[in-house]
Amino acid sequence: MKVLVCVKRVVDFNTRIQVKSDGTGVQLDGVKFSMNPFDEIAVEEAIRLKEAGIASEVVAVSIGNDKSQDTLRSALAMGADSAVLINADQEVQPLAAAKALKTVVEQQQPKLVLMGKQAIDDDANQTGQMLAALLGWPQATFASELVIDGDTANVTREVDAGLETLNVDLPAVVTSDLRLNEPRYIKLPDIMKAKRKPLDTLAMADVAGGETAMIETVKTSAPPQRQAGIKVDSTEALLAELKTRNLV
């Protein structure tokens, strides 16, 4: 069984984001980038399926500029067998990403597509669902546990009411949540091996069908600063302050 896993290069989650002075976006110069944490979990799950003898091949795919090769090399170092970069110099919105990934899925013919439930840069949480709809495949989102049983995937997913278990027929699209697994630490020998693994490049225009941006970012602004708290000396003073603020 071939598994296709989708990864995205994003600003590292430990980085403090700064908004540009003109409000056109966030400052990216000199900022550390890394693999989207949810996608890293998806890669780990694909590798575990291969190590368990369930998956025979793991292919990583990413959409972005040439620097996204570093993200794909990280996936290869974790244990993916090969990688595909869809080269795009401009921002790619979820529908365009889903259409591009659909073309790659049709080329690679996997039985399972894994990806993070969302990317931490835009928090769109749309690409996986759109890809499943375009392919006409079943989908299971927010997976916290994945068990492959023949041609069926048993997925435990986290919902507001607790846990929900879905049985979906393969091929299917599954998006990972934080508690699906703990990604492995990449060792130096694996990084060196990853440099010799195949990485193919496709042009965005060739795989997305001429999809153009449908959403325009008008302005980016930092959240307002939180007001400093106050201290009170007694319960009576606390109640009086709450009444002043119409909180009681």
Q: Tell me: the pLDDT tens digits for 78-114?
A: 999 999 999 988 888 888 899 999 999 999 999 999 9
* pLDDT at res. 160: 86
* pLDDT at res. 182: 93
Q: Give the span between the Cα atoms of 72 and 54, in whole angstroms.
A: 22
* pLDDT at res. 106: 94
Q: Compute the average pLDDT of residues 73-80.
A: 94
Q: Which helix (H) or strand (E) holds 43?
A: helix 37-51
Q: How far, in whole angstroms, is CA 187 from its chain's centroid?
A: 23
Q: Which helix (H) or strand (E) holds 160?
A: none
- With a CB cutoff of 8 Å and minimum separation 6, the contacts of 124 are 93, 94, 118
Taking alpha carbons only, the member of 5, 37, 15, 35 closest to residue 178 is: 37
Task: Give the position of tokens 């060792």.
Answer: 187
Q: Compute the average pLDDT of residues 112-125.
A: 90
Q: Give the span between the Cα atoms of 166 and 125, in whole angstroms.
A: 19
pLDDT at 62 over 90: yes
> Out of 20-29, 118-127, 196-205, 221-230, which region has the weakest mean confidence (pLDDT)?
20-29
- pLDDT tens, 169-188? 999 999 999 999 999 998 89
E-only strand ranges, the chain? 2-7, 9-11, 33-35, 57-64, 82-87, 112-116, 139-149, 152-159, 162-169, 172-176, 199-203
Q: Give the span between the Cα atoms of 134 and 241, in whole angstroms.
A: 55
Q: Give the span between the Cα atoms of 183 and 7, in whole angstroms.
A: 14
pLDDT at 60 over 70: yes
pLDDT at 212 over 70: no
Query: Which domains are seen in the chain, by residue range?
Result: 2-223 (3.40.50.620)
* pLDDT at res. 217: 78
The SS3 of residue 209 is: coil
Retrieve residue 177's tokens.
């949540």
Question: Would you say the C-alpha torsion 113, 117, 120, 126 has a positive or negative sign?
Answer: positive
CA angle 61, 217, 71 (to 5 degrees): 20
Q: Are 167 and 50 in contact (CB under 8 A)?
A: no
Retrieve residue 114's tokens.
């894994």
Helices (H), 66-175: 68-78, 94-108, 127-135
Q: How confident is the model at residue 213 (pLDDT cuts 50, 70, 90)?
A: low
